[in-house]
Structure 1
Amino acid sequence: MSSEIISVAQMRAIDAAAAAAGVPTLTLMENAGAAVAHAIMARFSPRPVAVLCGPGNNGGDGWVAARVLHEAGWPATVHSLVPREALHGDAALAAARWLGDTYPLTGETPDAALYVDALFGAGLTRPLDGVAKRLALSLPRERVIAVDTPSGLEGDTGRALDDVAFQAALTITFVRKKPAHVFAAGRALCGEIVVADIGVPDRVVSAQNTSIFENSSALWRFPWPRVDAHKHARGHVISASGGHGRTGAARLSARAALRVGAGLSTVLSPSDAMSENAAQLTAIMLREAKGGEDYARAASEAHCLVIGPAFGLGDLYKTHLDAALNAPKRFPIVLDADALTLLAPMTYKLDPRDVLTPHLGEFKRLFPDISAEDRIAAARAASVRAGAIVLLKGPDTLIAHPDGRAVINTTGSPYLATAGSGDVLAGLIAGLIGQGMGSFAAAAAGAWLHGKCGEALGPGLIAEDLPEILPSILKALAKETGAADDVR
């Protein structure tokens, strides 16, 4: 399945371009409606179906779905929000081909076992009202099948307009997913998502030059070790520790970097925390930092430096951070937690290989003039401002590149919302960069792996668990990508 994500405007452009390429829009509608009907028939036994049709093309898809179901012997009825004579274009033509029972969609809830929500698609820009709003609030989701998106769900943002939208057990969309299908809030309303091929030529989709993708292992190549690998060839990651009593976060990052494959992992520790760190470290090495020159040296020697987790705030720590950022011929730096606060507000360009990993609060401090309402636009704008990779954390973590590419991560679990989880993520990204992955790919892969660890662990998860479950996640990834024979 393609990982491209298209906007509502791009879908409209695809429809128009497909028609220009010789695929009539009515054919696309017929194919879409048939795809909805076939998805229903593949999952349910015959039962009464009420197809709720709106005034536009989404409703037209519904009229076709009803006809295909009826022709297959299903007891389907159409319940239209507007009179048939008020329809226009392809929707009117699709409705004219329906010979079954038709009812006005008024105050009464149709009596049926399943409900097909073909009222409004992803392009809806105003909140639901009237009977549509009442049905959205009353129909049980396990009996609702949505066409394109559940009505009330904004296609480009994944937000329920006025917090009211249908909830579906199954959503059938067409050609490619839209942002609403991958953002966490939208996914929660869509249920199972089916992407149907409706006959649009691939060249028409490619012409949109899509730059937003759903995160998956198909987007990046994991740096599996070669048969002749040795530790120095697998990269060295250094994680900067906080002072006495603030050392655990850097150790979490360092352990994650080692678990994800870095050949060497070191904690860079202030003098007052050396004994504290030494008591907790075994495979991870320890180095003392006495001043800014030690942070600059680390940035120039390690293949990736993690700085920020419980690092410390104030002028001294800002001096140490600046020394690392301005080190000559330095390697990439993953900036998290306190480093983000020290940088706020972001006023200068970083190295394009650097990765910023803010959660929403940190993002607002770093980029106070960039609205985070549209998360894709926000992450992209922030990446351009910083001149580096921005990973905006959340239930739908976004990774943005200054060139406009963006990846939406869909792996994860709410149990990842726990202390230290972000420190592990920073270490995973650094460990992948240290092994030679590009920073954008490493941020995407790190977020995906982090989410998979959260899914595997579930309730009771604490941050220390994440690096320990990682080997099983990597083994599954090796098997999935065909690399298993090389990494036994």
Structure 2
Amino acid sequence: MGRADALAAAHGVPGLVLMENAGRAVAEAAVAVAPRAGAAIAVACGPGNNGGDGFVAARLLREQGYQVRLGLLGSRESLKGDAAAMAQRWGEPVEPLAATTVAGADLIIDALFGAGLSRPLDGIAADVVGAINVSGTPVVAVDVPSGLDGTTGTSSGPVVQATCTVTFFRLKPGHLLLPGRALCGEVLVADIGIPEQALQEIGARTFVNRPTLWRKAYPWPRIDGHKYTRGHAVVVSGPAESTGAARMGARGALRAGAGLVTVVGSVTATAVNATHLTAVMIKGVGGDAALGEFLSDVRRNAALIGPGAGVGAGTAATVLTVLASPAAVVLDADALTSFAPGESQEPVRATGFGFVVRGTEPAPTPEGLFSAIKARKAPVVLTPHEGEFKRLFGEFAGPSAGSKLERTRRAAETSGAVVILKGPDTVIASPDGRAAINDNAPPWLATAGSGDVLAGLVTGLLAQSMPAFEAACAAVWLHGECAKRLGVGLIAEDLPEALPQVLQTLQTQR
């Protein structure tokens, strides 16, 4: 926000105007949350601009007849700039902030610290946060709940549990990443007068995953299109006893709009798949060489490998075969873990293609996978959950590795692939530095097979030549919307069938 404020000033919007508008937005939220007109409101103000917003809100609420008690962390004389000016306009008593400041209030406004805080709260501030949290009183937080790092969504100390958070101009990563999202309550984004041009000048590289981010790139059917112009997606099946995951991926690719979808597998796997598939084609191949030949045809536009493949050197060898093709590639599940250190010491037949006799080839490594990805022209998308991410990108998974956003960005840069780090706060990152945070996934999406469907959605969009970062973002968002529409009790097989209605709604908003 500091840079946005400075750019706003450069465009002729004074800081005092921004602060007045911010405080007004907080006051409006407080009125909406307060249990009754004239309620007792405690305002906890910090020593910076967040505290200045609190002074504005306190003044406006007092003018509306609310009983306002204001406590300040630090001395009034130490306030500077716009915050000092707003404290002067308050013109009412200011008490030293203490835990007793919030006692007996009907509503608390947390204006202690904003999104820029990166240290743990201590002393009086920590005591007040503790008192707020045990009070059970509704809380309106200014910018972010105090104690929360607005960049990472994490904290190493106490954090206010807010009922509602009022932020300004744009959401911050801390509003979207866990545990921050759970601490913010309802988040309201207020327009305080920062011009849109400021965002362009900042050159934002982190986005909320919304259709506005990728709608223009979405491959909507053309009036002159047909199945061959809508791309051919290939899904590599696991062995006969674990073919279901590939079929779910194939169904996702088909519903995402791929004109043709083929599941390829060993002869035994193909026999199983044949009893379950109709609109999806099947093809038996006898080994990696035959698979490579099949994928060498430039009409095979995208390929998915990993769901149900099995972990081992055999799967790793097949992955390298797929990466040697001209197709866009999605690597999921076992295709990732097969390159993790210590995971492929013993050979397994896995997909039925790449049996590798132990000792004849070096063990697969993450570096080997990343080299193969960087050596190709067509894009690659990796779709790990936290466990798979930790195994493949071990150096980025420790407690000192940074936020989920930072870790995903580093993984994309290191691997040369677009990375989807899955979870309730999925992050999508591109090797070029762009990243998006997704926030529409309901908790009931956590069910076996949902990741296979997601991988299929990405593959289906890539098959239609949608750019990889946009395809990944679109697939993640559509996946979440399907789950929201289905509700509690969904199973993975339901997700592709919900996609037509979600797409129809999206199309009407074009």
1:211: which partner in 2?
A: 205
2:357: which partner in 1?
A: none
1:111: which partner in 2?
A: 104
Decide which of 254, 258, 270 is 1:258's aligned counterpart: 254
Query: Is the aligned partner of 1:281 residue 2:277?
Result: yes
- Whole-angstrom CA distance in 1 between matches of 2:268 and 2:284: 9
Decide which of 89, 94, 98 is 2:81's aligned counterpart: 89
Decide which of 30, 49, 67 is 1:40's aligned counterpart: 30
Q: CA offset at residue 42 of structure 1?
A: 5.0
Whether the 8 Å CA contact 2:40–2:106 is kept in 1: the answer is yes
Map residues 309-388 of structure 1 onto 2, 5 A cutoff: 309-327=307-325, 330-344=326-340, 345-347=365-367, 348-350=371-373, 351=376, 353-371=379-397, 372-388=401-417
Query: Is the aligned partner of 1:234 residue 2:230?
Result: yes
- Whole-angstrom CA distance in 1 between matches of 2:372 and 2:12: 47
Whether the 8 Å CA contact 1:299–1:325 is kept in 2: the answer is no
- Whole-angstrom CA distance in 1 between matches of 2:437 and 2:99: 39
User: 1:427-476, CA deviations, whole angstroms, 9 ceiling, x for partnerless residues?
Assistant: 00011111221111110000001111222223222211111222222222
SS at match of 1:78: strand
Whether the 8 Å CA contact 2:45–2:55 is kept in 1: the answer is yes
2:72: which partner in 1?
A: 80
Q: CA offset at residue 368 of structure 1?
A: 2.0
With 256-265 and 365-374 compared, the bigger mean Cα shift is at: 365-374
- Whole-angstrom CA distance in 2 between matches of 1:30 and 1:168: 22
Whether the 8 Å CA contact 2:205–2:433 is kept in 1: the answer is yes
Query: Is the aligned partner of 1:410 residue 2:463?
Result: no
- Whole-angstrom CA distance in 2 between matches of 1:236 and 1:297: 15
- Whole-angstrom CA distance in 1 between matches of 2:94 and 2:167: 24
- Whole-angstrom CA distance in 2 between matches of 1:98 and 1:470: 53
SS at match of 1:238: strand
1:7: which partner in 2?
A: none
User: 1:16-42, CA deviations, whole angstroms, 9 ceiling, x for partnerless residues?
Assistant: 333344333233222211221133335
- Whole-angstrom CA distance in 1 between matches of 2:503 and 2:8: 41
- Whole-angstrom CA distance in 1 between matches of 2:13 and 2:431: 36
Residue type of the partner of 2:263? V
Whether the 8 Å CA contact 2:315–2:334 is kept in 1: the answer is no
Residue type of the partner of 1:346? P
Query: Is the aligned partner of 1:398 residue 2:427?
Result: yes
With 209-218 and 17-26 compared, the bigger mean Cα shift is at: 17-26
State the TM-score, normalized to the length of structure 2. Answer: 0.87
Residue type of the partner of 2:196? D
Residue type of the partner of 1:113? D
Q: CA offset at residue 101 of structure 1?
A: 4.2
SS at match of 1:232: coil
Decide which of 141, 145, 151 is 1:150's aligned counterpart: 145
2:346: which partner in 1?
A: none
Residue type of the partner of 2:386? L
User: 1:66-96, CA deviations, whole angstroms, 9 ceiling, x for partnerless residues?
Assistant: 1111223333221223332332332222111
Whether the 8 Å CA contact 2:98–2:128 is kept in 1: the answer is no
Whether the 8 Å CA contact 1:299–1:333 is kept in 2: the answer is no
1:424: which partner in 2?
A: 453
2:56: which partner in 1?
A: 64
Whether the 8 Å CA contact 1:184–1:410 is kept in 2: the answer is no
- Whole-angstrom CA distance in 2 between matches of 1:386 and 1:135: 46
Q: Percent identity?
A: 50
1:123: which partner in 2?
A: 116
SS at match of 1:233: coil
- Whole-angstrom CA distance in 2 between matches of 1:218 and 1:17: 24
Counterparts in 2 of 1:144 and 1:12: CA distance versus 1, 3 Å: same
With 347-356 and 446-455 compared, the bigger mean Cα shift is at: 347-356
Residue type of the partner of 1:322? L
Q: CA offset at residue 224 of structure 1?
A: 1.9
- Whole-angstrom CA distance in 1 between matches of 2:98 and 2:324: 67
Q: CA offset at residue 115 of structure 1?
A: 0.9
Q: CA offset at residue 357 of structure 1?
A: 0.8
Whether the 8 Å CA contact 2:178–2:425 is kept in 1: the answer is yes
- Whole-angstrom CA distance in 2 between matches of 1:144 and 1:316: 56
Residue type of the partner of 1:263? G
2:172: which partner in 1?
A: 178
Query: Is the aligned partner of 1:29 residue 2:19?
Result: yes
Residue type of the partner of 2:184? C
| Structure 1: gaps spanning 5 or more residues | 1-10, 482-488
SS at match of 2:214: coil
Residue type of the partner of 1:285? M
User: 1:137-179, CA deviations, whole angstroms, 9 ceiling, x for partnerless residues?
Assistant: 31336x11010001111110011333x3112221111121111
- Whole-angstrom CA distance in 2 between matches of 1:128 and 1:479: 47
Q: Report the RMSD for the aligned CA atoms in angstroms.
A: 1.9
SS at match of 1:126: coil
Q: CA offset at residue 51 of structure 1?
A: 1.2
Whether the 8 Å CA contact 2:323–2:372 is kept in 1: the answer is no
Counterparts in 2 of 1:106 and 1:318: CA distance versus 1, 3 Å: closer
- Whole-angstrom CA distance in 1 between matches of 2:87 and 2:59: 9
SS at match of 1:407: strand
- Whole-angstrom CA distance in 2 between matches of 1:107 and 1:181: 26
Q: CA offset at residue 349 of structure 1?
A: 4.7
Q: CA offset at residue 342 of structure 1?
A: 2.4
- Whole-angstrom CA distance in 2 between matches of 1:33 and 1:211: 28
Whether the 8 Å CA contact 2:320–2:372 is kept in 1: the answer is no
SS at match of 2:162: coil
Counterparts in 2 of 1:452 and 1:184: CA distance versus 1, 3 Å: farther
Decide which of 10, 14, 29 is 2:4's aligned counterpart: 14
User: 1:282-333, CA deviations, whole angstroms, 9 ceiling, x for partnerless residues?
Assistant: 1111100211123213433421101011112333322222211113xx1101
With 373-382 and 206-215 compared, the bigger mean Cα shift is at: 373-382
2:45: which partner in 1?
A: 53
- Whole-angstrom CA distance in 2 between matches of 1:136 and 1:468: 46
Residue type of the partner of 2:384? P
Residue type of the partner of 2:451? G
- Whole-angstrom CA distance in 1 between matches of 2:293 and 2:185: 50
Q: Following TM superposition, where does structure 1 have runs of at least 4 consecutive aligned residues deviating by more than 4 angstroms?
A: 42-45
1:8: which partner in 2?
A: none
Decide which of 454, 462, 479 is 2:483's aligned counterpart: 454
1:160: which partner in 2?
A: 155
Whether the 8 Å CA contact 1:349–1:385 is kept in 2: the answer is no
1:202: which partner in 2?
A: 196
Counterparts in 2 of 1:477 and 1:417: CA distance versus 1, 3 Å: same
